[in-house]
Structure 1
Amino acid sequence: MSTQQDHIVRGFKATLVARAVYMLSSALLMLVLARFLLDPQGYGDLYWAISILAIVQLFADVGLGKSAARYISEYNEKDPGQIPHLLRSTMVYKLVVVSVVAYALLLFHDELASMLGEPSAAPFLAAGVLYVVVKSFQTFAQISFQGFNELGYSAAVQAIGGATRLVFAVGFVLAGFGALGALFGYIVGYALAGAFGLAILYFKFYREYDTAEIYEEGLSKRLLKYSVPLTATRSANVVDKQIDTFLVGVFLSSTAVGFYTLGKQITDFVLAPAESLGFTISPNFGEYKANDELEEARRIYESSLTNTLLLYVPAAAGLAIVADPFISLAFPSYEGAIPVLQALTAFIVLQAITNLTSDSLDYLGRAQARAVAKGGTAAANFGLNLVLIPAMGVVGAAIATVLTHSVYVAVNLYVVHSELSLRVRHLARTMGLIFGITGVMAIAVLIVTPMVSSFPMLIAAIALGAATWAVLAVASGLVDPGEVRSVLG
Structure 2
Amino acid sequence: MNFLSQLAMSFAGFFATIALTRTLGADRYGAYVVVLAVLSWLTIAGNVGLSQAIKKRVSEAAEGNYVVSGLLAQFVLYVLLAVVLLLARPHLNAYMGIDATLVLVGLLGARLAGDFVQNVLDGQRLVHVSSVLSPIEWTTRSVVQVALVLTGFGLAGAFAGYAVGALVAVAVGSYFLSVPRTVPTRQEFRRLKSYAQFSWLASVQGRTFLSMDTVVLAIFVANDVIAVYEIAWNVASLFAIFGSSIRRTLFPEMSRISSENGVDAEITDLLRTSLTFSGLFIVPGLVGSAIVGDVVLSIYGPEFRTGYYILLALTVARLIYSYQGQFLNTIDAVDRPDLTFRINAVFVGANLALNVALISAFGWYGAATATTVSAALGLGLGYRYARRVVDVVVPFREVLNQWLAAAAMAVVVLAGRLVLGDSLLAVVPLVGVGAAVYFGALLALSGEFRAAVERNLPDDAPIPDLE
TM-score (normalised: structure 1): 0.87
Cα deviation for residue 462 of structure 1 reads 2.2
Corresponding residue of 1:225: 194
Which moved further from structure 2: 448-457 or 100-109? 448-457
Matches for 1:72-91 after TM superposition, within 5 Å: 72-75=58-61, 80-82=62-64, 85-91=65-71
Match of 1:43 among 15, 24, 29: 29
The 2-side partners of 1:480 and 1:18 are apart by 21
Cα pair 1:151 1:280 within 8 Å, conserved: yes
1:159 aligns with 2:145: no
1:308 aligns with 2:252: no
Match of 2:104 among 128, 131, 134: 128
Letter in 2 for 1:263: A
Residue 286 and residue 50 in structure 1: after superposition, are their counterparts in 2 closer, same or farther (change >3 A)?
A: same
Question: Cα RMSD over matched residues?
Answer: 2.2
Could you give the per-residue CA deviations for residues 30-64 of structure 1, whole angstroms, max 9, x where no partner exists?
111113x1100011000011111211222211111
Cα pair 2:66 2:184 within 8 Å, conserved: no
1:33 aligns with 2:20: yes
Corresponding residue of 1:349: 319
Letter in 1 for 2:345: G
The 2-side partners of 1:440 and 1:87 are apart by 49
Letter in 2 for 1:236: Q
Letter in 2 for 1:448: G
Letter in 1 for 2:6: R
Cα deviation for residue 255 of structure 1 reads 0.4
Corresponding residue of 2:464: none
Cα pair 2:46 2:78 within 8 Å, conserved: yes
The 2-side partners of 1:184 and 1:107 are apart by 23
Letter in 2 for 1:32: A
The 2-side partners of 1:302 and 1:398 are apart by 29
Matches for 1:12-411 after TM superposition, within 5 Å: 13=1, 15-35=2-22, 37-75=23-61, 80-82=62-64, 85-114=65-94, 116=95, 118=96, 120-122=97-99, 124-201=100-177, 205-206=178-179, 209=180, 211=182, 215=185, 218-292=187-261, 294-411=264-381
The 2-side partners of 1:31 and 1:244 are apart by 22
The 2-side partners of 1:156 and 1:105 are apart by 32
Letter in 2 for 1:441: M
Cα deviation for residue 468 of structure 1 reads 3.2
Cα deviation for residue 410 of structure 1 reads 2.0
Which moved further from structure 2: 475-484 or 253-262? 475-484
Which moved further from structure 2: 240-249 or 450-459? 450-459
Cα deviation for residue 330 of structure 1 reads 4.8
Corresponding residue of 2:392: 422
The 2-side partners of 1:196 and 1:102 are apart by 25
Cα deviation for residue 355 of structure 1 reads 4.4
Residue 417 and residue 269 in structure 1: after superposition, are their counterparts in 2 closer, same or farther (change >3 A)?
A: same
Letter in 2 for 1:307: F
Corresponding residue of 2:445: 476
Which moved further from structure 2: 409-418 or 50-59? 409-418
Letter in 2 for 1:121: I
The 1-side partners of 2:359 and 2:267 are apart by 41
Query: 2:63 aligns to what SS in structure 1?
Result: helix
Long gaps (5+) in structure 2:
459-467
Cα deviation for residue 24 of structure 1 reads 1.9
Task: Give the number of aligned pairs.
Answer: 456
Query: 1:395 aligns to what SS in structure 2?
Result: helix
Cα pair 2:237 2:315 within 8 Å, conserved: no
Cα deviation for residue 74 of structure 1 reads 0.9
Which moved further from structure 2: 98-107 or 438-447? 438-447
Query: 1:186 aligns to what SS in structure 2?
Result: helix
Cα deviation for residue 401 of structure 1 reads 0.4
The 1-side partners of 2:7 and 2:439 are apart by 21
Cα pair 1:141 1:194 within 8 Å, conserved: yes
Query: 2:335 aligns to what SS in structure 1?
Result: coil
Which moved further from structure 2: 474-483 or 184-193? 474-483
The 2-side partners of 1:140 and 1:229 are apart by 18
Cα deviation for residue 320 of structure 1 reads 2.4
Long gaps (5+) in structure 1:
1-12
Which moved further from structure 2: 405-414 or 435-444? 435-444
Cα deviation for residue 375 of structure 1 reads 2.2
Letter in 2 for 1:47: V
